[in-house]
A and B are shown apart, each in its own frame.
Chain A
């Protein structure tokens, strides 16, 4: 089992967000976490990535059988956890290629792999950039600075491609994307999907799931999973809205 979440309670600023969440994810699977606003789906992604604002009150998260909560966010990343941000941060003065090479080499160092010099890395980056149809001109630009919403999201997927995570959490990656950008991002993710990784799509809308087809759909309401099913469940939600699941949960 890649990830196993048992009876998870999470609070932020003393307010409980997740209240007894259970979830199992294995390699080779695509999971969609859906739910109305405020249901706690982004919280789940952030807790897994190690965001410092969230407090795990109770419960357990096992990642490859080990306690994930013991690891700092950077250690988790080097162990293969990746979160694509809903609002990627701008880092002025540091180019995309510098930043990604630092991240890549930190991971390689940790895993005992081969670190790359700028030239070698540039070749890798060019290759990966094709996945998200990104112009190499973006490599020289400061990380996310002056990028459009769509460019930022594509850049997140480029980072995912370079860092090759085992567990990829895509937090509202579809928000703010026009249909063309959505298609590019989704195709990039589909190409990165493998038997060696798991992809978790956190999303409010079904739209993204037309392009990245999930194996499992989990509906979150009131801080726990209230309904689970296959890809059909997403369509049902699209049609009926979230009220019926909320009602069913009570």
Chain B
């Protein structure tokens, strides 16, 4: 690792190598070149940037990253079987170090899943790729776009119902920078469920820098769950942006458990009336973990609903940042926007910086927001103790109770179980009444 500043140019050689070896069409290469130029120009964000005030990514900026080759060692396939068992379900789209791996993937049924090199001629791909998440948003979004390789393009057909949840599995394997990328387009009236699993094999210090773009056409529905269980030495940076059509419904749950440093820039935009979006999350961090969620919800047109409940549980010296912006634009009468961030501190050394933010430019709306930071209530703890539960058990139960609202949104049994365990740790075995 080098310590000089301005390491943006360190990606030059990797970028040139990647783009000259690429057989992508010129229009894709052009987007990549522009994104790289943009990355070089704006660089990695710093704490001087208002949006990154509490999250210092200098450790990422200073490191000498190599980009992943995406070649999977045959021996690793077995190692990963355990991981796949845990995920469950009949399908899995697997990325190793950010690169799609067809060999160990089992593509889902009832939905079109193309790796990008098969998708460049697809009309929906061309219309949406890099059009939903603006590469200029920040240096990471630009860098991911610049390193676009084999991402996955998912498209649900008009009025189709995809029966089984589509599993997207991102495995951090080696100490490298990975740039996974997903584009999901749900056509009119389609219904599907996506689950992103971010996992590690060992406690390696890798970088996941992902971009997830989603467009839902009129009346489309998507349940979208992200479960981030990266290495505790890893950096996890994700940009996701969802655009909603008329009457569409987006139900999103984000769980952050891993990562030394994790940052999620989450965007949702309403573009036609009658759409609804739920964006909920839980971050559970300990030791020196740092997690940051920045969300931005744009009510651009009338009569849409957005609900956001984010809960945080912090132990050790961990730190969490929550910044939620809801913009109700001038035309967006009849908006119903609700945003809440609640935090539970289990240690005196943990810290939360939370800032829910509503900006409303129309009077005919229903909006509420709030944030709390607190500790377990003495009265609640005493109640459980007075029934003979020991203190660890009592604290665990109350902590679980705090998180339960978000955890219970998760319908996939294997993830729910893993989460219950993470929250309740040793208690779990005795709670299955």
A residues with CB within 8 A of B: 49-53, 72-74, 76-78, 82-83, 85, 88-89, 91-95, 97-99, 101-103, 105-107, 110, 118, 121-122, 142, 159, 163
Query: What are the residues of chain A within 8 A of B401 when measuring CB–CB?
Result: 91-94, 142
For A121, the chain B residues whose CB sits under 8 A away are 433
Q: Chain A interface secondary structure, helix, strand, loop or mixed?
A: helix
CA distance A248 to B415 in the complex (A): 67
Q: Give, as a whole number of angstroms, the nearest-CB distance from A11 to chain B.
A: 17
Q: Tell me whether B378 and A74 are in contact (CB under 8 A).
A: no
How far does the Cβ of B369 sit from chain A's closest Cβ, in whole Å?
21
Return B347 CB to nearest CB of chain A, in Å: 19
Residue contact A78 to B388, C-beta cutoff 8 Å: yes
Produce 1/0 per residue, B380-394, CB < 8 A to A: 101111111111011
Determine if A91 and B398 form an interchain contact, defined as CB atoms under 8 angstroms apart.
Answer: yes
Check A93–B408 contact: CB distance below 8 A.
yes
Please indicate the chain A residues that have their CB under 8 angstroms from the CB of B389 in the complex.
Answer: 74, 102-103, 106
What sequence of 0s and 1s flags, for each residue 13-26 of chain B, a beta carbon within 8 Å of any chain A beta carbon?
A: 00000000000000
Q: Using C-beta atoms within 8 Å of the partner chain, give the interface range for chain B.
A: 20 to 34
Whether B387 contacts A103 by the Cβ 8 Å rule is yes
With A and B bound together, what is the CA distance between A142 and B407 in angstroms? 15
Which residue in B377, B388, B431, B432 is a CB contact (below 8 Å) of A107?
B388
Residues of B within 8 A of A50 (CB): 382, 385-386
Interface contact tally, CB-CB below 8 A: 91
Q: Find out whether the CB atom of B433 lies under 8 angstroms from the CB atom of A91.
A: no
Contact between chains at A118 and B382 (CB < 8 Å): no
B399 nearest in chain A by CB position:
A93
Closest residue on chain A to residue B400 by CB atoms: A93
A52 to B190, CA, bound (A): 56
What separation, in Å, do the CA atoms of A163 and B388 have in the docked complex?
9
Closest B residue to A76 by CB, please name it: B386
1/0 per residue, CB under 8 A from A, across B144-187: the answer is: 00000000000000000000000000000000000000000000
* Bound Cα distance A88, B377 (Å): 13
Q: Is B114 located at the chain interface by the 8 A CB criterion?
A: no
A–B pairs, 21, beta carbons within 8 Å:
A73-B386, A76-B386, A77-B385, A77-B387, A78-B388, A82-B386, A89-B384, A92-B401, A93-B401, A93-B404, A93-B407, A94-B397, A94-B400, A94-B431, A105-B430, A106-B389, A106-B390, A106-B393, A118-B432, A118-B433, A142-B404
- Complex Cα spacing A76 to B408, Å: 34
What per-residue 1/0 map shows which CB atoms of B389-423 lie under 8 Å from chain A? 11101100110111111011000000000000000
Given A93-B404, A98-B431: A83 touches B378 (CB 8 Å cut-off): no
Q: A88 touching B388 by the CB < 8 A rule?
A: no
Known: A89-B380, A91-B380, A121-B433. A83 touches B386 (CB 8 A): yes
- CB contacts (< 8 Å) of B433 on chain A: these are 95, 97-98, 101, 118, 121-122
Distance (Å) between the CB of B14 and the closest chain A CB? 46
Which of chain B's residues have a CB closer than 8 A to the CB of A110?
388
CB closest chain-B residue, reference A94: B397
Question: Chain B residue with minimal CB distance to A96?
Answer: B433
* CB of B50 closer than 8 Å to a CB of A: no
B385 touches A73 (CB 8 A): yes
Q: How far is the CA of A160 from the CA of B416 in the complex (A)?
A: 32
B73 within 8 A of A: no
